[in-house]
Amino acid sequence: VLSKKIDEPKGMKLVHKQDGDTNYELANATLLSLVRNSELDGIVSSIRQLEETWNWRYNYPFTFINDEEFTPEFKKRVEEVCSGKVYYEIIPKSIWEKPANIDPVLYKNGIAKLTENKVNYASLESYHNMCRFNSGWFYRLEGLKKFKYYWRVEPNVDFFCKVDYDVFKFMRDNELTYGFTVSLYDEPLTIETLWKTTVDFCLAHPEYVHPNGAFKWLTENQQNPQNTNGAGGYSTCHFWSNFEIADMDFYRGEAYSKWFDALEAAGGFYYERWGDAPVHSVGVGLFEDKSKVWWFRDIGYHHSPYENSPNSDKCSTDHEPGYFAPPDVYDQNCLPNWIKYSM
């Protein structure tokens, strides 16, 4: 797929910290992980790789978020591997738990339908909480208010290319809002009414829709035509949000905030299983200029079962450059549509 060698972004503003520069000023940014105490080994593995490939040079801070207190063991081990400052943030129950507007009967029926259709995590309430929290709440936490950019890191992911430039300054200096590595189609059943809810909102508030949004990427589904109707006109294309580097001020802005309120009122985080990936993606795709979205093709990244595998000497992976996933799931890749319609 990719015959050209991938290196640092061309024709963009890049800042490289020089070795021994002790006065280097960081951008206003944090690495960020919502994680459970039980995932300690997995998060330590992810952090080690991100430090070795990139953050050892920059020492950006790391913020860990949890719905419970972190254990002393958790804190000790992550502090051993993080090269920058470490912050902890506990989510208030009023934010984490299922909100009062969720109708118990609709919730029960919705979950029964998803379970019948073998949708992953359908009956796990904490998964619904997590998706809602990641969609519209994390950036409102007290400890996150001071930051503008975040890089989301999950347990058990791999970073396998050396990156030399300051990725956060890359976002800032090139005025980018959202960066991703992998783009997929989603399971339509989890988001059956997300598009309808969104279209209703946009009809009531056309002023929020960006004239240069990623409309075709959001609506055209060529790789996986059976998805087209299930999601009510949404292609289901989304940025795979277990990796994302983004500007929280976008979410904090009026368009995304008002739209998110409409999603909350509709209840789809519980009646269906709206994920933070399609929610961020539809929000960015409609309310932001698509030229402010960046595919980080040079960052080697793996979260089972997919990866972004650049063709570069800076990477160590067993896979071919451009490797996506086993061929039998190739139709889940929406990156070709992003490239075709939005770059």
The contact set with ligand GDP (CB under 6 A) reads 34-36, 39, 66-67, 126, 130, 154-155, 242
From the candidates 51, 244, 272, 307, which is the catalytic residue?
Answer: 244
Q: In sequence order, what DSSP letters do the residues of 49-111 get, joined into one string?
A: HHIIIIIHHH---EEEEESSPPPHHHHHHHHHH-SS-EEEEEPPHHHHSPPTTS-HHHHHHHH
* CB of 234 closer than 8 Å to CB of 337: no
Amino acid at 38: S
Residue 47 vs residues 58, 159, 175: alpha-carbon distances, Å: 14, 9, 26
Kindly state the smallest distance separating residue 208's Cβ from ligand GDP, in Å. 28
Residue 154 lies near Mn ion (rule: CB under 5 A): yes
> DSSP label at 15?
-
Kindly state the smallest distance separating residue 30's Cβ from ligand GDP, in Å. 15
Identity of the residue, 55 or 242, whose beta carbon is nearer to Mn ion in the bound complex? 242
Kindly state the smallest distance separating residue 154's Cβ from Mn ion, in Å. 5
Choose the one of ligand GDP, Mn ion, none that binds residue 130, judging by a C-beta under 5 to 8 angstroms depending on kind. ligand GDP
Residues in binding contact with Mn ion, number by CB under 5 A: 2
Residue 7 lies near Mn ion (rule: CB under 5 A): no
Reduced to 3 states, what is the DSSP secondary structure of residue 184?
Answer: strand
Backbone φ and ψ for 5, nearest 5 degrees, come out as -65, 140
Kindly state the smallest distance separating residue 96's Cβ from ligand GDP, in Å. 8
Six-digit token pair at 209? Answer: 């829709």
Kindly state the smallest distance separating residue 131's Cβ from ligand GDP, in Å. 8
Kindly state the smallest distance separating residue 269's Cβ from Mn ion, in Å. 18
Choose the one of ligand GDP, Mn ion, none that binds residue 164, judging by a C-beta under 5 to 8 angstroms depending on kind. none
Pairing of strands 178-180, 158-159: unpaired
Catalytic (active site) residue 244: yes
Identity of the residue, 66 or 198, whose beta carbon is nearer to ligand GDP in the bound complex? 66
Residue with the closest Cβ to ligand GDP? 126
Identity of the residue, 134 or 224, whose beta carbon is nearer to Mn ion in the bound complex? 134
Q: In sequence order, what DSSP letters do the residues of 283-335 get, joined into one string?
A: HHHHHS-GGGEEE-TTS-EEETTEEE---STTB--SSPTT--S-GGGGGGB-H
Binding to Mn ion, residues 220-259 (CB under 5 A): 242
Identify whether 305 is preceded by a cis peptide bond (ω within 30 of 0): yes
CA distance 343 to 341: 6
Residue 240 vs residues 74, 78, 104: alpha-carbon distances, Å: 27, 25, 30
Identity of the residue, 125 or 200, whose beta carbon is nearer to ligand GDP in the bound complex? 125
Choose the one of Mn ion, ligand GDP, none that binds residue 304, judging by a C-beta under 5 to 8 angstroms depending on kind. none
Identity of the residue, 154 or 264, whose beta carbon is nearer to Mn ion in the bound complex? 154
Span near Mn ion by CB under 5 A; candidates 120-128, 147-155, 243-251, 332-340: 147-155
Choose the one of ligand GDP, Mn ion, none that binds residue 255, judging by a C-beta under 5 to 8 angstroms depending on kind. none
CA distance 111 to 92: 25
Identity of the residue, 153 or 335, whose beta carbon is nearer to Mn ion in the bound complex? 153
CA distance 184 to 302: 14
Residue 158 lies near Mn ion (rule: CB under 5 A): no
Active site residues: 244
Q: Which residues bind Mn ion (CB under 5 A)?
A: 154, 242
